[in-house]
Amino acid sequence: WGALVNLALELSEDHDLKFNYLRVQSASDEASRGTGQQGDTTSVEDGTYMDQSVLNWTERSLSYYQLAGEHRFPELKDIRVDWGGAYSMTSQEDPDFRVFQFFSDPRNSSYNPNLTASQPSSPTRYWRELEEENLSLRGDLTIPVPSYNDQENFVKTGAALNLSERDYFQRGISALGTSAHPFNRAGDPNMWMASTNLQYINVRNFPANATYHGEQEIRAACLMGDWAAFNWLRVVGGLRFESTDLTVDSFNLTQNRPLSPGNLQQDDWMPALSLAYQPRADFEFRGSWSQTVVRPTYREIAPVAIYDVFKGRSVLGNPNLQIAESENFDLRASWYPRPGELMSVGAFAKRIDQPIELSALTTDYSQIRYENFDQAEVYGIETELL
């Protein structure tokens, strides 16, 4: 279910206030069982297959508040001031996530070739909670610039502050079995916790019991200009400064010890430039170039193993991650046959230094971790018809 409130107040002809509120509450209840091949661990040729049973309830919530204002000052040569603030709270809870995943190999039964020999990864139950708060503030000042043609020009400057905080908690238990467990030759999941087989079971804490607390502060300022050099050529350029301060403290609850902290502090200057060439009223060419950054998320930088149930592997964060830098190029041609209609084709390219990708830590891909790689390139084309 959700709720939405939008309010607007016109203080005067040139001064407006807006308030927005959004509330979303969602949950999913799942019971599933899947069998089949998984490319990196099982194959049809050798007769092995994977069997996975999942029972889980996941609940998510979002509360979002936004207040913004727009003020125009005709007496000051139409200077405009825009400001806004937003606060949000998000949460996710998995109160009892149950999974039993195992691999079966009918050809290698040491007891009876007609039965299924299985290798369980042990039934496991998780309790996971995540809470995050975000606060963002911004302010912009737009100053019109006199024009020698009938186009509008302006210079714009602004500043922004973004604060966020996240807490994550997970615990789990695994029901480990001995090699003498009858399941290993029969492969029936219902046998694992049967009363007659409890002598073959040991219940233990799952090694990934952990928690982490993260905080991030991003301070930004920008300066840009929009200039109509001619009626058929518009130039937009600017420079943005961002300062990032990200810290994550993690703790291993199973071993009762702190994990390596993640600490990232960096200042970035990000220029951008775009040209719009309009040889006639219904046709436009646009090209742009910019430099941006990609910051690691809390999950990517926290050295906590979070089990991905559907992929059957643990994903670890890396406290040594660095911010990736991206150089972006875009070209687009647009045609407007009639009012409200659009036909366009474009091409884009990105050169990324230190891209953040997943890398396998084990040969069976049971553990993967986020890493910075040397370089990546992305190319593409896109079309739009309206």
CA 272 – CA 287 distance, rounded (Å): 11
Q: Say what the pLDDT of residue 47 is.
A: 73
Q: Where are the alpha helices (DSSP H) in the chain?
A: 183-186, 298-301
Secondary structure string (H, E, C) spanning 341-361: CCEEEEEEEEEEECCEEEEEC
Please give the pLDDT value at position 69: 98
Tell me the C-alpha distance between 21 and 60, whole Å.
17
Q: What's the rounded Cα separation, in Å, for the pair 341 and 384?
A: 10
pLDDT given at position 113:
44
Contact 354, 318 (CB under 8 A): no
Distances (CA, A) of 374 to 306, 323, 353, 371: 25, 12, 6, 10
Find all residues with CB under 8 Å of 204, minimum gap 6, and list them. 173, 174, 176
- β-bridge partners, 103: 50, 119
- Straight-line distance from the first to the last Cα atom of the chain, in angstroms, rounded to the nearest whole number: 32
- pLDDT by residue, tens only, the chain of 386 residues: 999 999 999 999 999 999 999 999 999 999 998 888 866 666 677 677 888 889 999 999 999 999 999 999 999 989 999 999 999 999 999 999 998 888 887 766 554 444 567 777 788 898 999 999 999 999 999 999 988 877 889 999 999 999 999 999 999 888 888 888 888 877 788 888 899 999 999 888 776 799 999 999 999 999 999 999 888 999 999 999 999 999 999 999 988 999 999 999 999 999 999 999 999 989 999 999 999 999 999 999 999 988 887 777 889 999 999 999 999 999 999 999 998 899 999 999 999 999 999 998 887 777 899 999 999 999 999 999 99
What the block records as the tokens of 35 is 């069998």
Q: What is the pLDDT of residue 369?
A: 94
Q: What is the pLDDT of residue 111?
A: 44
- What's residue 148's pLDDT? 80
DSSP codes joined into one string, 74-117: GGGTTEEEEEEEEEEEEEEEEEEEEEEEEEEEGGG-SS-TTSPE
List phi, psi (to 5°) of 107. -80, -15
C-beta atoms surrounding 370 within 10 Å:
21
CB of 171 closer than 8 Å to CB of 206: yes
Which stretches does DSSP call E strand in the chain?
2-12, 15-36, 49-73, 79-105, 117-120, 124-145, 153-177, 201-205, 210-230, 233-252, 257-258, 262-280, 283-294, 305-308, 313-316, 324-335, 343-353, 356-360, 367-372, 375-385
Residue identified by tokens 């207040």 is 67
Q: Which amino acid is at 248?
A: V
Task: Specify the pTM.
Answer: 0.86
